[in-house]
Amino acid sequence: MQVLDKKLEKRVKIASKKLGLNEREFINRSVLAYLSEFKNAINFKKELEMWDMVSAFSMQKYNF
């Protein structure tokens, strides 16, 4: 399997061997886990932005 970085390729080989997965499966699972966490981070950011807007609206409404 070709990975862009040689150090990363070595880490993938070691980790996949320790977990008993082939390299492709290890990379696929890793990417899926990363994307899931990334999606959660985006949702959290959107929630914070929503609360910021609600807070600004409340402050404006009550002349803060």
Mean pLDDT, rounded, of the chain: 91
- Please tell me the distance from the alpha carbon of residue 55 to that of residue 4, in angstroms, as a whole number: 45
Nearest to 24 by CA among 6, 41, 44, 2: 2
Neighbouring C-beta atoms of residue 17, cutoff 10 Å: 12
Give percent above pLDDT 90 in the chain.
75
Q: What is the pLDDT of residue 3?
A: 58
Q: What is the pLDDT of residue 2?
A: 65
Q: Provide mean pLDDT across the span 8-17.
A: 94
Say what the pTM is. 0.62
- What does the pLDDT look like over 24-46, one tens digit per residue? 999 999 999 999 999 999 999 99
